[in-house]
Amino acid sequence: MSPLLVNGRTEKELIKACLSQDRLAQRDIFNMYAGKMMAVCLRYARHRLEAEDILQDAFVKVFTHLSDFEYTGSFEGWVRRIIINTAIKNNQKKSFSHEEIGLEHIKEDSAGPEVFSVLSEEELIKLISSLPDGYRMVFNLYAIEGFSHKEIGELLNIEESTSRSQLVKARRILQEKVHELYKIAI
């Protein structure tokens, strides 16, 4: 399969050009991945403005640390990892107090998965964004990125058991929120 060309250059050629600070190549790389990465940022951020900040910071890191990319995996995966790390660091820098919600506050009669399937991607992102910071991070990393609890523990500097419990709580909050929405809808 021939490599995908952007303005006559392959991804590898664009990366090489970016290493020479070629602005056109950097813009092409940005345009190639900014949409996908913005969707990632929206999942990790509380609101769109925060997502935009993460996207900006992360792409600056992408271009300034491009020499570290070793072509061992996909470039998109490498960029995504930088986005995720930037989102995590951004979350850790926040000065506000960590939100805690106990399991006792969550109703057991929450919505089933079939309700989620009718929700749009935008609605799902909004649901994730509404999760408390810690839960949101764990849910994103585990459910969507596919990290193990051990890896999440290392990434977020928390215990593996904390990751597990936060995942459970995140799921239940999501079910609860959908349940509420569902009830409002009918």
Asked if 6 is part of the footprint of another protein (rule: CB under 8 A), the reply reads no
3-class DSSP state of 10: strand
Under rule CB under 8 A, residue 48 binds another protein: yes
For residue 141, give every residue at least 6 positions away whose Cβ sits within 8 Å of its Cβ, in sequence order, or none: 84, 147, 151, 152, 155, 156
> Which range touches another protein (CB under 8 A), out of 41-49, 82-90, 94-102, 155-163?
41-49
- Using CB under 8 A as the binding rule, whether residue 83 contacts another protein is answered as no
SS3 5: strand
DSSP assignment, residue 46? S
Q: Per CB under 8 A, which of residues 132..161 are in contact with another protein?
A: 139, 142-144, 146
Give yes or no for residue 26 binding another protein (CB under 8 A): yes
Q: Can you list the pairs that 70-73 forms with residues at least 24 positions away whose Cβ atoms lie under 8 Å?
A: 71/12
Q: How far apart are CA 103 and CA 112, in angstroms?
A: 18
Residue 166 tokens, joined: 């936060």
Contacts of 26 (CB under 8 A, 6+ apart): 18, 63
Residue closer to another protein (CB basis): 27 or 151: 27
For another protein, the binding residue among 2, 117, 157, 186 (CB under 8 A) is 117
Q: Which residues bind another protein (CB under 8 A)?
A: 20-23, 26-27, 30-31, 34-36, 38-39, 42-43, 47-49, 52, 55-56, 59-60, 63-64, 113, 116-117, 121, 124-125, 128, 139, 142-144, 146, 171, 174-175, 180, 183-184
